[in-house]
Amino acid sequence: QKNTAAPDDYSVAEVHEIAGKGIRATINDKVYSLGNAALMTELGITPPAIGDCGTVIYIAEETTYLGYLLIADELKPDTASALFALKQNGIQKTVMLTGDNKTIAYAIADEIASKLPKTVTASNPLDEIHAELLPQDKVSIVEQLLDTAKAHSTGKLAFVGDGINDAPVLARADVGIAMGGIGSDAAIESADIVLMDDRLTKLPTAIAIAKKTMNIVRQNIWFALLAKAIILVLGALGIANMWIAVFGDVGVML
């Protein structure tokens, strides 16, 4: 039902983003703030603790608390099977990096564990969980993981993300993977691989394709070197003719 006391036109001006806290805007000459508890504290407001699981966005008019919005992420249906498949493919460690609070992060992790195949004995496919991160915090953790991997020669680091805040990390990781359908343009431009249909189960498929491609490349290199070596020996013995040379060039390529 329309509130007859509310104006039909809204004049919005002076919209400001407050990094890591929220936004502030002037609407019909009144300042409204939307953000987390830290932003409310700046206004001298003590926001209520919300017990529900989700990201809480508090709303204030000037210095008067109005209420809150609760936003909860939904787990993709294929997340658990994708993480399980990654472990099966030899991925040594899986890490969650999120800006959500710890309650949400661990609730999502528990939900993932509950959807694993019944034959899996591991409690959770996630080895580490880092929550309440700002964009620069994600970069710092990825730097630490890269340093650890380099020090122990444990392999390469891949990062999967879709938001504009993930772009710096996607660029910094050894392999950046963006979710193409829902991902921001910045994330897609920064990534090395783009999953166009946003299905995480395509990630193990991409790894399998990459491994098979590298096997074919190695086979081609060794076959070409072996064929050239044989032709060189035949040429030194005076056995090789022009047709063998053509085979060594064009034939090996085919």
Is 193 within 8 Å of 177 (Cβ atoms)? yes
pLDDT band (50, 70, 90) for residue 183: low
pLDDT above 90: residue 34 = yes
pTM (2 d.p.)? 0.67
Distance CA 80, CA 117 (A): 9
Long-range contacts of 76-81, Cβ-Cβ distance < 8 Å, separation of 24 or more? 76/198, 76/199, 76/200, 78/199, 78/200, 78/201, 79/112, 79/115, 79/200, 80/112, 80/113, 80/115, 80/116, 80/125, 81/115, 81/117, 81/201
**What pLDDT is recorded for position 122?**
53
**What pLDDT is recorded for position 118?**
65
SS3 12: strand
Is 39 within 8 Å of 33 (Cβ atoms)? yes
